[in-house]
Amino acid sequence: MRLRSAERKTTLDLLPGELPATEPTPEEVLDGHALRDWVHNALGALSEPLQTVVLLRYFTKVSSYEQIAGLCDVPVGMVRSRLNQARAKLSHALRSTAATAHPDASILAARRRREAQDLLSSAGQGRFHATLTAATDPGLLLVGPQGQRARGRDTLAEIMTSDLDAASASG
């Protein structure tokens, strides 16, 4: 009731025309990067099947167990089991490393950024296909938005080259 009373006044210590900052502070940015690196490191310690279901469930629009089971070509019960295992392992890993820095994740992110820049610059030099195939696994599994599947880095290179050609032709 006291908060609702008419006597309550709110003042802002802003100069005329000044608005509160909406951009994150440098400390908030650093905290965000540290959190990302911490989670990335924990995810990286999971086996590939566990990583796949976690990434699909929490980091894509594919969130139902049935969709994940279809994409991974496993029964729904296996998806539940893998998510349960992954949650337990992530929980343990995150609790046990809460006070630890993970500089290796920052190094990995910087390396991936350089690889992406090299790949994109190779497109203008006619080396896109070779650069992409050198940077990807030969047994790469591609899953499209409607669940279509293809395997192999050559297929990825063909798709991406086609996209690049289409972009060049329209712009």
In order of 63, 93, 131, the CA distances from 89 in angstroms are 20, 6, 35
Q: What is the residue whose two structure tokens read 């006070």?
A: 99
* Residue 54: predicted pLDDT: 93
Tell me the one-letter amino acid at 20: P
pLDDT in tens, the chain (171 residues): 444 555 555 454 555 555 556 777 766 776 777 777 788 888 988 999 999 999 999 888 888 999 999 999 999 999 999 999 999 999 998 888 776 655 666 676 677 788 888 888 887 788 888 888 888 888 888 887 777 888 888 888 888 888 878 877 886
End-to-end CA distance of the chain: 62
The C-alpha torsion from 44 through 138 and 124 to 108, rounded to 10°, is: 20
Positive or negative torsion for Cα 22, 27, 33, 38: negative
Tell me the one-letter amino acid at 122: S
What domains lie within the chain, and their CATH numbers?
Answer: 26-101 (1.10.10.10), 110-171 (no CATH)
